[in-house]
């Protein structure tokens, strides 16, 4: 029997599809940069195809079936799948078609041909980041509690926040439907009559931020969501949208194990 140390290593699985598209072209089409930049990404060993690291520039792949990752983040190759960030205005309801005729999310994607649906909810009085997509699997994972995607909120609350409030929130507060803990808490501004705080949590229960601060004696005056997982609201103006693509989309997909 040949000693284990002398046995040949199993060669890597061949992911080359002679009838496919050059890998650098596929990456460039997915928003990863110019073809030259994508060639550099490949030769640096940062790309895997179906779990196999690829460094050769001649590799061709079938973009309809290949699973490609760059730096561990999934690359979305299906250009019919769209994910959009919206800075939802105050007074807009988180519905694609409000049954009572109130302002809803459909107006912000009225020019798109895809059938979009919203990921999670923001109450009408809360502004900020909400995602719209036609990717059912991504939407399911982003809203499923098992993936625990963190969400960041900026809140103006009533009263001066006490120094020990952050510890209290991170240890847990009991609400009528069970306890809730925040992942992090930061006081940005404070004054005798009001404070501005940033809070991160992965809870998805209705009105959870408002109920949390109400319970600890600091009712919310104004609330905005600024981040979902790796997706930041940034400088996106109220009522405007932007398509999430390239590495940003890859990081979002990776956050939920796609």
Instruction: Give the active site residues.
Output: 123
Can you tell me whether residue 249 is helix, strand or coil? helix
How far apart CA 195 and CA 157 sit, in angstroms, is: 5
Tokens coding 11: 């060669």
How far apart CA 65 and CA 254 sit, in angstroms, is: 18
Sign of CA dihedral 236, 241, 246, 249: positive
108, 145, 112: which is closest to 130 by C-alpha?
A: 108
Taking a C-beta distance cutoff of 8 angstroms, is the pair 253, 138 a contact? yes
Q: At what angle do helices 136-143 and 246-255 cross, to 10 degrees?
A: 50
For 4-35, b where at least 16 C-beta lie within 10 A, e where not — what string? eeeeeeeeeeebebeebbbbbbbbbebbbbee
């Amino acid at each position: 029997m040949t000693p284990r140390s002398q046995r040949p290593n199993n060669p890597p699985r061949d992911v080359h599809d002679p009838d496919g598209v050059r890998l650098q072209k596929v990456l460039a089409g997915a928003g990863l940069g110019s073809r030259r930049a994508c060639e550099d990404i490949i030769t640096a060993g940062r790309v895997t195809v179906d779990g196999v690291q690829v460094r050769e520039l001649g590799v061709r792949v079938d973009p309809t079936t290949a699973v490609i990752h760059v730096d561990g983040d999934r690359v979305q190759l299906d250009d019919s799948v769209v994910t959009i960030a919206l800075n939802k205005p105050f007074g807009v309801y988180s519905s694609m078609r409000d049954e009572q005729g109130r302002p809803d999310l459909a107006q912000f994607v009225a020019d798109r041909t895809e059938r979009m649906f919203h990921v999670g909810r923001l109450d009408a009085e809360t502004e900020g980041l909400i995602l719209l997509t036609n990717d059912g699997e991504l939407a399911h994972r982003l809203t499923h509690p098992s993936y625990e995607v963190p969400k960041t909120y900026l809140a103006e609350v009533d009263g001066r926040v006490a120094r020990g409030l952050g510890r209290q929130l991170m240890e847990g507060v009991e609400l009528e439907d069970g306890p809730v803990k925040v992942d992090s808490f930061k006081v940005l501004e404070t004054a005798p009559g009001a404070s501005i705080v940033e809070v991160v949590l992965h809870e998805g229960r209705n009105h959870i931020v408002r109920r949390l601060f109400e319970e600890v004696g600091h009712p919310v005056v104004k609330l905005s969501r600024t981040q979902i997982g790796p997706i930041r609201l940034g400088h996106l103006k109220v009522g405007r949208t932007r398509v999430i693509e390239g590495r940003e989309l890859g990081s979002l997909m990776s956050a939920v194990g796609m």
